[in-house]
Every structure is written in structure tokens, then in C-alpha cells.
């Protein structure tokens, strides 16, 4: 197959490119490098089944050509990272909604299948743990910037499902839960690369809030395996799937574990949400996926545990050397 990956120079997109090429497919990447990096795909340059275009995602003639040339599209291009979302809400909403609209509109012309990546953020403040795909989405007020991300991705989901129901464009929606691994940057807020960088530098580990909020972390290798397999799963069309690991840890315990695994002397400090993000910032107290549905559809289960996830980020950060492009 020939796949197009939007946002393919991003952290998850670049691992997906590796996975698909490893499975014998051909991959084209489009990325505007807003949060992605050429460095993430540098090792693929020159591969005879890989090509990339650095371009604006909203360049409709170009995107139309790339969608047409491919057999199917993985749409990953999005504004992500809570830090970025809080700082640039206009960019978040516009990027997330407009890009998805355009990809779906163009794909619908030739009935080319699209897999849309959404996020566990859409569950918002729901306390109905574990989060099942058919559960309610509980968002906060529109005056609180964070929720713009969840709402913009929820619109993407509605749109993808609507294209399937109304125009028979085959679409699949996935909700990714805190995906982590090599190449992820802490620049946009992601906690594990941030804590690892802090621990390796023996700087304080910055726990936001009281540290009792929990998350479940998924290794990117597990996540991209799920993406590749859901794309070809007939029963997944027109439907929504969680992709996540269901092993839960508090952010305070996470900081302790990272300090231990890196043998760091960093202290753990608490930073109020109002300082870390903005006044009135709301966090999710718990976020745990139900993964029954994806297991039933494609037999997928995560294989990497938290220690392996942390170690992969530590190894990457220790080995990282500038790549000249």
C-alpha cells in the first residue's frame, strides 16, 4: 500500500512511517514542521519507499495531489501539547479543524480511506473510569483555554463519522492516550520527556498541582502498531477506538520513578497550575482507557510497560546528537 501521513515529521508520525515502511508499504509524509522536525525523518531520507513534502497543510492543490496518489491517509497533523494549546488557542482550533476538514473533503472525492487521530483529551473531566468509546465527553467552560483542544478534536471526530455516514467515505477515528517514546520533545508540555530531561540535568522535577493526578502512558511502538492494524480492519470503519495502556500512575509517583531509573539527585518541586499554564487551569484528575474494544477488533494489547517507556526516553535523550540537514 501507499500511505500518506499528515504530520509525518512529528513524533508519532515519524514512528508510524518507520512502522509502515517496515511492513513493506510506501510512505509519503506532509508536514509544515510547526511542531515536527526534519530530524525525526532524517534516517528515512533516501529510502526508495519514502518521500516527504515540507509544506503548508492547507495548500489544497498539493494536498489533493498527495491524497490522490496514496491509497489511504493517516491524518496526524494537529496542534498538540497542553502548553502549546494554552499559549496559542487560535492556532490550535484553526489547525485542528481546518486541516481535518480539508483532508476529509479531498479524500471523499476519490473515496480514499482516512484514519483520523484524536485524543483522550476528548473525555475531558469525565469520572466514568475507565473511559469507554461510547462514554460521555465532559468538557469545561469555553473561557478555559484547555478545552478548545478537546472540542476541536471532538469536531474532527464528528466530521469523520459524518463523512462515513453521509458520503460513505471510509473513516476510522482513534483516541490516543499519552503516547510517549524516543523523539518526543518536552517543549510543548509532555511530562515524561520533561521529567527525563530535568532528571538527567539534575534539575528539579516540576510536578504541577498536587501530583495526585494520574495518567496511563503508552509506548509509541505499541501505538503505531495499533494504527497500522486499525487502518486495514474492516469493522473499524465509521467507528472510534481508544489506543492506550491501562496501567495508571500518579504524576508524583512518575517523578519518583524517573528519578530512580536515572539515578538522579534532582529534587521534586510542586508548581501551581496557575504558574505552569494559566489562571483557572483545569486538569483531569484521572485518565484511564478501556481497551476492550480495540482488543476485540484487532487483538491489540500494549506490550511495553512504564519502565521500558521511561528507559527508551532516557536512552534517546542520552544518545541525542545534532543531525545536520
Long-range contacts of the stretch 87-90 (C-beta < 8 A, 24+): 89/145, 89/148
Question: Which residue in the set 17, 63, 104, 191 belongs to the binding site for ligand UDP (CB under 6 A)?
Answer: 191
Q: Per the structure block, which three cell numbers stand in for 120?
A: 483522550
Residue 288 near ligand UDP by CB under 6 A = no
Question: Which residue in the set 175, 194, 219, 225 belongs to the binding site for ligand UDP (CB under 6 A)?
Answer: 194
Site for ligand UDP in 156-175 (CB under 6 A): none
Residue 207 near ligand UDP by CB under 6 A = yes
Half-sphere exposure of 206 (CA within 13 A, CB side): 16
Question: Which residue in the set 51, 88, 126, 206 belongs to the binding site for ligand UDP (CB under 6 A)?
Answer: 206
270 included as an active-site residue:
no
Question: Which residue in the set 3, 131, 208, 241 belongs to the binding site for ligand UDP (CB under 6 A)?
Answer: 208
- Measured CA distances, 104 to 48, 65, 111, 232, 264 (Å): 28, 14, 9, 18, 47
Question: Which residue in the set 82, 106, 115, 304 belongs to the binding site for ligand UDP (CB under 6 A)?
Answer: 82
Among the residue ranges 40-48, 68-76, 161-169, 201-209, the one whose residues contact ligand UDP (CB under 6 A)? 201-209
Which of residues 64 and 197 has its CB atom nearest to ligand UDP in the complex? 197
- Which among 3, 149, 163, 277 is annotated as catalytic? 149
CB of 32 to ligand UDP, least distance (A): 22
CB of 61 to ligand UDP, least distance (A): 34
The count of chain residues that interact with ligand UDP, using the rule CB under 6 A, is: 13
Which of residues 51 and 185 has its CB atom nearest to ligand UDP in the complex? 185
Among the residue ranges 32-40, 132-140, 161-169, 200-208, the one whose residues contact ligand UDP (CB under 6 A)? 200-208
- Measured CA distances, 243 to 27, 173, 271 (Å): 22, 10, 30
Residues 6+ apart with CB under 8 A from 196: 186, 258, 262, 310, 313, 314, 317
Which of residues 51 and 250 has its CB atom nearest to ligand UDP in the complex? 250
In this structure, the strands spanning 205-208 and 268-271 are parallel
Render 232-298 in DSSP notation, one character per residue.
T-GGGTTEEEEE----EEEHHHHHHHHHHHTT----EEEE-HHHHS-TT----S---B--HHHHHHH
CB of 164 to ligand UDP, least distance (A): 27
Among candidates 25, 20, 17, 22, which has minimal Cα distance to 41?
17
Active site residues: 149
By the criterion CB under 6 A, which residues form the site for ligand UDP? 82, 178, 189-191, 194, 206-208, 213, 215, 251, 283
Amino acid at each position: 500500500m501507499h500511505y500518506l501521513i499528515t504530520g509525518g515529521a512529528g513524533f508519532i508520525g515519524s514512528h508510524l512511517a518507520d512502522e509502515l515502511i517496515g511492513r513493506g508499504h510506501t510512505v509519503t509524509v506532509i508536514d509544515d514542521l510547526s511542531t515536527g522536525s526534519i530530524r525525526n525523518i532524517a534516517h528515512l531520507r533516501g529510502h526508495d519507499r519514502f518521500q516527504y513534502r515540507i509544506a503548508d497543510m492547507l495548500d489544497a492543490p498539493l494536498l489533493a495531489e498527495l491524497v490522490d496518489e496514496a491509497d489511504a491517509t493517516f491524518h496526524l497533523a494537529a496542534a498538540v501539547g497542553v502548553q502549546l494549546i494554552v499559549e496559542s488557542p487560535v492556532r490550535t482550533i484553526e489547525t485542528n479543524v481546518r486541516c481535518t476538514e480539508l483532508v476529509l473533503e479531498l479524500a471523499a472525492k476519490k473515496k480514499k480511506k482516512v484514519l483520523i487521530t484524536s485524543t483522550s483529551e476528548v473525555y475531558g473531566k469525565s469520572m466514568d473510569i475507565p473511559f469507554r468509546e461510547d462514554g460521555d465527553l465532559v468538557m469545561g467552560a469555553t473561557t478555559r483555554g484547555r478545552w478548545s483542544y478537546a472540542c476541536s478534536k471532538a469536531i474532527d471526530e464528528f466530521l469523520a463519522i459524518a463523512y462515513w455516514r453521509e458520503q460513505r467515505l471510509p473513516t476510522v477515528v482513534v483516541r490516543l492516550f499519552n503516547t510517549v517514546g524516543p523523539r518526543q520533545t518536552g517543549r510543548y508540555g509532555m511530562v515524561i520527556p520533561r521529567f527525563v530531561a530535568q532528571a538527567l540535568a539534575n534539575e528539579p522535577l516540576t510536578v504541577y498541582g498536587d501530583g495526585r493526578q494520574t495518567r496511563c502512558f503508552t509506548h509509541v511502538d505499541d501505538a503505531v502498531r495499533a494504527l497500522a492494524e486499525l487502518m486495514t480492519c474492516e469493522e473499524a470503519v465509521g467507528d472510534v477506538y481508544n489506543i492506550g495502556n491501562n496501567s495508571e500512575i500518579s504524576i508524583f509517583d512518575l517523578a519518583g520513578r524517573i528519578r530512580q531509573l536515572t539515578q538522579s539527585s534532582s529534587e521534586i518541586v510542586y508548581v501551581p497550575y496557575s504558574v505552569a499554564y494559566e489562571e483557572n487551569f483545569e486538569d483531569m484528575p484521572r485518565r484511564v482507557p478501556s481497551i476492550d474494544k480495540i482488543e476485540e477488533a484487532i487483538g491489540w494489547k500494549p506490550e511495553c510497560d512504564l519502565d521500558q517507556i521511561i528507559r527508551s526516553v532516557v536512552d534517546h535523550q542520552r544518545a541525542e546528537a545534532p543531525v545536520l540537514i
